[in-house]
Amino acid sequence: MGVEGAYPLLIALWLLPMASAIALWAFGPQLRTAAGPIGAGIVGVCFALALFSWPDAVQRAHGALGAHLTLFSWGSGFDFGLLWDPLSLTWTLIITGVGFLIITYAIGYMEGDGAYARFFAYMTFFIFAMLTLVLSDNFVGLLVGWGGVGLASFFLIGFYIDRKTAVAAARKAFVINVVGDVGLMFAILVIVTQVGSTTYAETFARLGQFSNTALVLACVGIFIGCAAKSAQVPLHSWLPDAMEGPTPVSALIHAATMVTAGVYLIARCWPMWNASPDARDLAGSIGGLTALMGAILGCAQWDIKRILAYSTMSQIGYMVMGVGVGAYDAGVLHFLTHAFFKAQLFLGAGLVIHALANEQDVRKMGGLRTKMPFAFWAMLVGVLAICGIPPFSGFFSKDAVIYGALEHGHPYLYAIGVLTAAITAYYMFRLILVTFFGTYRGEVDPSDLGIRHPELAGMPPHAAPQAHHSHQPGPIMNVPVAILMIPTTAFGWLAIGPDSPWERFFGQLFAGGTHVEKVPASIGEGLSTLIVLALVLVGIGLAYLRYGTSAAREHAVERLRTESVHMPPVLANAFYFDAAIDALFVRPAQALGRFMGRVVDPIVIDGAVREAAIVAVSLGNRFRMLQGGLVRGYALTIVVGVICVIAYYAVMGAGR
């Protein structure tokens, strides 16, 4: 296919954010406060371009893979091009659309920050990397974007470079992501050995050439990449720590877009997963486990952003479970709705954090409903959506994922999904009740609330100087949140019914995947929905009994203190994953480093250098005997030499 129609727009859409990132980075000091609007504007233009190219994509998308445009070739069989199909279109719209809203919000949130332009340069760089990831028509381009978003994430988590915890979190995120990159790279190498090409089209067309082992290896490699990027157990522990970044970063990268790259990858490679049931079982189980674990840990957090981080982990677990069991369209639908409601939740939390001068500990909040009604309603809509209360969007997608597990013959995953939905309702309403109801506890002594180390528990050290810099958010922050409320509420309506717009959009794409290997479910979809809803209501009820009743509100301080002090250590330590990783990898690596530093470097490396010097010195000492300084000695040497030469010719014969 030649370059025609919407293709130039597509290239512009892809490259504009990079141009913007370079410009903001290079001219940041000159642009000052203009940097934010420029960054947001560029991403807004990209969103407009994506919308404009939409009909074209739908029109061209015949068969499993949509239209694609080869840009250049870097070797026989290795082309680099852009792919424009419903899947990449969905992600592009979310990346640029939600990205635009969040970056606009950040104009207000980051106001007065010393590195204002740098922030927007990183954000637009992230958009570029993410677009590379989803628009690439081959695995190598995907890997480039994959690494790029990891890098952007590293920059943005460690954005407050004067905070030790932020720098450590950035490093942790980067290292864990690289583990995933290595897995993905391994998968790509396997694919190259099997089909001799890296494009999706070639790979999926020649799946028959894969040996069984190679297919499982490739799928597992891809899944390791997904697990690291999408915070699946056991590579999840970077995500809660990533909340050290500014709140808009958490909303854009660590909730709405980057962490769903793994879901994208599985959905993109669905023919491979279809062909490999073992790998699919692995992905489904890990997804279910992550969903459950994230939800349980969400109940034990006090930092408003960490609660949301664990809920993100849990929801991505749902998505991976969905695409893992083969319900690809359900997983992708949950990605879409999650992008909206999670961005909304984070931006709502950002409003609270901004107004309370960077206070993030929910124990020090309370009663904010009357002080910040807008933030309350925004958060409430998000919470209702994530809990799956109809008619909010999360209801439709979560229900589709949970029922999809049953439909594709995984009753255990179905049970986990239902249970997780109940726990999700519990901890999200806990968040709402503790934060927005009762009385304001900001003036209560932290130790009365069970906060042992204010610095570690909630208040970030960098916030201290601006502690009195508390102000209500302006319209630049409120309007994006208000706009996000619309899709959060209504987006799920697209998926109602058997011939919904959603079905028509994605039905073709996953044609091979969605209609095979369904098993007759033991309960109907309607009954299943009722069960899920009933359990969700039980979760909400439990949260209300614990935090919402008038007795609970009156004794909120004592209750929170008791709960903080008596938090089971297994929850407070997040199932000891950090400790395990520390003991299994970090400590051995540090020990190896120390061993290298104390033994190998001084003895082997320095030893070799020193030994070479010693040899040179001793040789020199031998040879310096010749330099006796005695003129007569030299003369004797010459004579002896001459005699030797003459003797040589006398014996051997001159000239022969």
- Give the nearer residue to other proteins in terms of CB position, either 76 or 627: 627
> Strand 67-73 relative to strand 79-84: parallel, antiparallel, unpaired?
antiparallel
One of 565, 630, 651, 652 touching other proteins (CB under 8 A): 630
Kindly identify the residues of this chain, within the stretch 333-392, that bind other proteins according to CB under 8 A. Answer: none
Q: In the bound complex, what is the minimum distance in angstroms from residue 179's beta carbon to other proteins?
A: 59
Q: Is 654 in the site for other proteins (CB under 8 A)?
A: no
Assess 639 for contact with other proteins (CB under 8 A): yes
User: Is residue 565 part of the contact set for other proteins (CB under 8 A)?
Assistant: no
Output the smallest distance, CB 616 to other proteins, in A: 15
Closer CB to other proteins, 52 or 634, in the complex: 634
Non-local (6+) Cβ contacts of 348 within 8 A are 375, 378, 379, 382, 481
Count the residues of the shown chain that bind other proteins, applying the rule CB under 8 A: 13
Out of 569, 629, 653, 655, name the contact with other proteins by CB under 8 A: 629
Cβ of 209: how many Cβ atoms within 10 Å? 12
Phi/psi at 257 (5° precision): -120, -70
Minimum distance from residue 620 beta carbon to other proteins (Å): 9
- Binding to other proteins by residue 628, rule CB under 8 A? yes
List 2, 632, 644, 652, residue binding other proteins (CB under 8 A)? 632
Q: Which of 30, 76, 213, 627 binds other proteins (CB under 8 A)?
A: 627
Q: Which residue's CB is nearer to other proteins, number 73 or number 637?
A: 637
Shortest spacing between CB 599 and other proteins, in angstroms: 38
Token reading at 61: 């998308």
Q: Omega before 391 cis (within 30°)?
A: yes
Query: Among residue numbers 151 through 180, which ones bind other proteins (CB under 8 A)?
Result: none
Distance of CA 314 to the CA centre of its chain: 13
Nearest distance from residue 625's CB to other proteins, in Å? 7
Stretch binding other proteins (CB under 8 A), from 213-221, 409-417, 480-488, 626-634? 626-634
Closest separation in Å from C-beta 185 to other proteins = 58
Q: Does 652 bind other proteins (CB under 8 A)?
A: no
Phi-psi region of 79 (alpha: psi -120 to 50; beta: other; left: phi over 0): beta
Q: Of 498 and 620, which has the nearer Cβ to other proteins?
A: 620
Which runs of E-coded beta strand occur in 552-652?
Answer: none
At residue 72, the 3 state secondary structure works out as strand
**Footprint (CB under 8 A) of other proteins, residues 31-90:** none
Estimate to the nearest angstrom the gap between the alpha carbon of 559 and the chain centroid. 35
Of the pair 571, 639, the CB lying nearest other proteins is at 639
Provide, rounded to whole angstroms, the least separation between the CB of residue 626 and other proteins: 7
Instruction: Convert 613-651 to b/e letters by CB count within 10 Å (16 or more is b).
Output: eeeeeeeeeeeeeeeeeeeeeeeeeeeeeeeeeeeeeee
Complex with other proteins: residue 565 or 625, whichever CB lies closer: 625
Give the nearer residue to other proteins in terms of CB position, either 530 or 643. Answer: 643
Residues, the chain: 656
Helix (H) / strand (E) element for 402: namely: helix 393-407
Q: Using an 8 Å Cβ cutoff, are 597 and 482 in contact?
A: no
Shortest distance, CB of residue 618 to other proteins, whole angstroms?
A: 14
Closest approach of Cβ 638 to other proteins, in Å?
Answer: 9
Tell me the window of 171-179, 298-306, 467-475, 635-643 that interacts with other proteins (CB under 8 A). 635-643
3-state secondary structure of 138: strand
Instruction: Please report whether residue 644 would count as binding other proteins according to CB under 8 A.
Output: no
Of 595-624, binders to other proteins (CB under 8 A) are: 623-624
Position 631 contacts other proteins (CB under 8 A): yes
C-alpha span between 323 and 413 (Å, rounded): 12
Cross-strand pairs, 485: none
3-state secondary structure at position 68? strand
Query: Residue 553's closest CA among 307, 366, 360, 299?
Result: 366
* Cβ 28 vs Cβ 117: under 8 Å: yes
Which residues, in sequence order, are bridge partners of residue 82? 69, 136
Structure tokens at 15: 């490259």
Between 630 and 654, name the residue whose CB sits nearer to other proteins: 630
Question: By CB under 8 A, is residue 635 in contact with other proteins?
Answer: yes
- Cβ proximity to other proteins: between 526 and 629 the closer is 629
> Interface with other proteins includes 566 (CB under 8 A)?
no
Instruction: Answer whether 294's CB lies under 8 Å from 310's CB.
Output: yes
Binding stretches for other proteins (CB under 8 A): 623-632, 635-636, 639
